[in-house]
Structure 1
Amino acid sequence: MGLTSNTVLALAVAAGVLLFAATVWFWPRLSGRTWRAVLGRVALLLATQLALFSAVGLAANKSFLFYGSWADLLGQETEPGVVVDHSAGSRDIRVVGTQKLDVPGGARPAVGGQIQKVVVAGEKSKITSPAYVYLPPEYFQPQYAGRNFPASIVLTGYPGTAENLIKGLNYPMTAYKQAKAGKMRPMILVMLRPTVAPPRDTECVDIPGGPQTETFFAKDLPKAVTETYRVGKEARNMGFIGNSTGGYCALKMGIHHAETFGAAAGLSAYYKAAEDPTTGDLFHGDKALRARANLLTSLKAKQPAKTSFLVTSSETGEGNLGDTKKFIADVKSPDRVSSIILDSGGHNFNTWRREIPPMLVWMSGRIQA
């Protein structure tokens, strides 16, 4: 049973409940002052607290994926990293590993698709970042051998890990099931975190004298994807998706790079670049650059280009509801905007898991092969 499995979490919760009940039941019998009674009380209390802390820790790890396995938790994950040569002549995307989806027959890519672990080398930004690429089963099927596929870049929030998109938010499995049910067309997903210059939160900004993060996501990554996979080079072929910080980046790319991305979906996005100790000085006094990082300001100045936007929020639980409504109101035709507004939902994985299936169906209707 894996560290992040529901079974392990359920067993930890059950153990906590049973030990709590045992403590209440046996406490009167252990009320004496003998060493056995004292030792019994200590043992029950310690066991109960250990079970409760284990349940809380497992639940937190399942939500945020601090550790992916027991070996990772115990420091036994010792597989060395892979050195990738990014000198002249090397490809922008290098595949360093593959994994399958947990579906019947999933060992065959033509049945379950494939998740590739890759390293992306940015030609212009000089940024190198790990990522995962989900290729749907159809990508490997002979009848589709000559066809292109739509693709979406998918970002986590900050700090996040790309693995969260696979294990926590279930993007590949959700896309697989939605396509198999006929609700969306097969789509390539390029999954990574926005922190491409760790540990700094660069907010997808080209920082003066610093990491050129916007260039990486807007120029280098789309070029690498279209040159490595069967993806068209027009805006109608590629979308951008993200949650939280990733959602901010997604909407930013849709506004400022409509020539590259035909659709952008921001789940629980905020609309102004954060400026705090994790970001450092993003703008170095450049007022125009700061204004450009304000999406509500930039949207008003955007030349409509038939870009499609999707924004999400909740009536209760999200702090972005007011700005989300302003964004919706400011989108000008022929640009289009759609929304998912939940009655209640916080800024967390559970909320995004409720929004991802309909969002992918929406994205499938906005971009094409």
Structure 2
Amino acid sequence: MQPQPRPRATRTRALLGAAATLALAAALAGCGSGGSSAGDAKAALGGHAGGASGSATPSAAQSSTQPPKPSRILMPTGPAADLRKARDTAAGPILMTTVTGAKSGVSGKVWVWLPPQYNDPKYAKHGFPVLTLYAGGQSAGYNTWTDNQLPIEEINAQMAAEGKAHPFIMIMPVQNLDSSEAKALECSDIPGQPKMGTWMSQDIPDFVRANFRTVKGRDGWAVMGASTGAFCSAKLALQHPDVFKAAVPIDGYWNPDSPLWKGHDQERLANSPDVLVGEGKADVRMLATAGGANAYETKLVKNWVAKAKAPLTVEYYEQPGGKHLTADFKKMIPTTLEWLTKNTAGPESDG
């Protein structure tokens, strides 16, 4: 909404007696479009409550307008994707489409869940935060955040209804194009291979902005994943702090080890969270977790957290008795959603 012009006021100084001065002040106070007040009368007399002396030199005050406030949301830019229902949940349907990236050339499946608030008329002019979720394993043709193993959609809907979490748009892409671990792309642009890193960091956000109302800027964008997905979420956030504000790597590892890196060690290190965490280049907030029942994992994660350099901040959380199992990742969902809510922007509107 454009701001209304400020009221114009005519200021006059005249050599008048006290009675004439008060009459003139009353008349001038009623001239502005903003109504009259004692302050208006005082301003009309050059700041004096009583009479004024000097020659009559009327002048018009300069009008000015405030520039429009920057929008806090982005409306969908299009073109609209062909989103089809993949399955129903107690918190609404999970949709699926195939995204072919204009920047990467990669084509892969992406699942989407919209919180109930997204289609609520009360939120029709709101942009929503975005949480991209990465799975464990190869995640070629599937994403475990879309099924009952990790029912984050139902948990988020319940927590948002209770005011404990933001209602997030959830984006769940595949991470590989082949189920063989020998062809793991590690969410990276490995030389000579499909540009999966570009697809994830640029094409997927472009797809989201094209189709959904989102929070403007990076403050409403986060990534989270478990195991292999933890590697991806940490790496992508560290490489692209202009896109992502926060990340939650759950029980992760930090060194790229795909056979496809052979002969490309320099590029491998440039995509290593173990290197990126200590470079001090990413203004990103992270929560790194480890299962308390796994001594090797807790040591691995703690050592990685200790390498973090500002402006990066990494908090450590150890799940009591936690193991490297999907069942324990599920138990982590409320904790991670609470943390993400504290470290990202919620739904925004310009109203």
Distance 1:347 1:122 in 2: 33
Q: Is the 8 A contact 1:113 1:139 kept in 2?
A: no
Identity %: 24
Q: How many residues align?
A: 265
Q: Which residue of 1 aligns with 2:266?
A: 288
Q: Which residue of 1 aligns with 2:186?
A: 203
Amino acid at match of 1:144: Y
Distance 2:136 2:260 in 1: 20
Q: Which residue of 2 aligns with 1:317?
A: 294
Distance 1:349 1:163 in 2: 9
Shift of 1:272: 0.7
Alignment counterpart, residue 161 of structure 2, candidates 174, 180, 190: 180
Q: Is the 8 A contact 2:249 2:287 kept in 1?
A: yes
Q: Which residue of 2 aligns with 1:125?
A: 104
Deviations 1:256-305 (A, max 9, x none): 11000100111111011123xxxx322x4223212123212111113142
Q: Does residue 238 of the first structure (1) align with residue 197 of the second (2)?
A: no
Distance 1:330 1:92 in 2: 42
Distance 1:355 1:302 in 2: 28
Distance 1:273 1:202 in 2: 10
Deviations 1:42-76 (A, max 9, x none): xxxxxxxxxxxxxxxxxxxxxxxxxxxxxxxxxxx
Amino acid at match of 2:269: A
Amino acid at match of 1:212: K
Q: Which residue of 2 aligns with 1:168?
A: 149
Change (3 A) 1:164 1:359: closer
Change (3 A) 1:281 1:98: closer
State the SS of the aligned residue for 2:138: coil
Q: Is the 8 A contact 1:267 1:312 kept in 2?
A: yes
Give me the CA root mean square deviation: 2.0
Alignment of 1:77-88 (within 5 A): none
Q: Does residue 159 of the first structure (1) align with residue 132 of the second (2)?
A: no
Alignment counterpart, residue 95 of structure 2, candidates 116, 119, 122: 116
Distance 1:99 1:226 in 2: 23
Amino acid at match of 2:88: K
Change (3 A) 1:178 1:245: same
Amino acid at match of 1:217: M
Alignment counterpart, residue 333 of structure 2, candidates 323, 345, 356: 356
Shift of 1:362: 0.9
Q: Is the 8 A contact 1:94 1:120 kept in 2?
A: no
Q: Is the 8 A contact 1:226 1:233 kept in 2?
A: no
Q: Which residue of 1 aligns with 2:44?
A: none
Alignment of 1:36-55 (within 5 A): none
Q: Is the 8 A contact 1:120 1:129 kept in 2?
A: yes
State the SS of the aligned residue for 2:263: coil
Distance 1:94 1:314 in 2: 39
Deviations 1:226-277 (A, max 9, x none): 12111135221210111111110000011111000100111111011123xx
Deviations 1:4-43 (A, max 9, x none): xxxxxxxxxxxxxxxxxxxxxxxxxxxxxxxxxxxxxxxx
| TM-score in terms of structure 2 length | 0.71
Structure with the largest fraction of helix: 1
Q: Does residue 297 of the first structure (1) align with residue 271 of the second (2)?
A: no
Deviating beyond 4 angstroms after TM superposition, the runs of 4 or more aligned structure 1 residues are: none
Distance 1:324 1:92 in 2: 40
Q: Is the 8 A contact 1:197 1:211 kept in 2?
A: no
| TM-score in terms of structure 1 length | 0.67
Runs of 5+ unmatched residues, structure 1: 1-89, 103-111
Determine which structure has greater relative contact order: mean sequence separation of CA pairs < 8 Å that are 6+ residues apart, divided by chain length: 2
Q: Does residue 345 of the first structure (1) align with residue 322 of the second (2)?
A: yes
Q: Which residue of 2 aligns with 1:148?
A: 127
Q: Which moved more, 1:167-176 or 1:242-251?
A: 167-176
Distance 1:334 1:159 in 2: 32
Q: Is the 8 A contact 1:153 1:240 kept in 2?
A: yes
Q: Is the 8 A contact 2:85 2:95 kept in 1?
A: yes
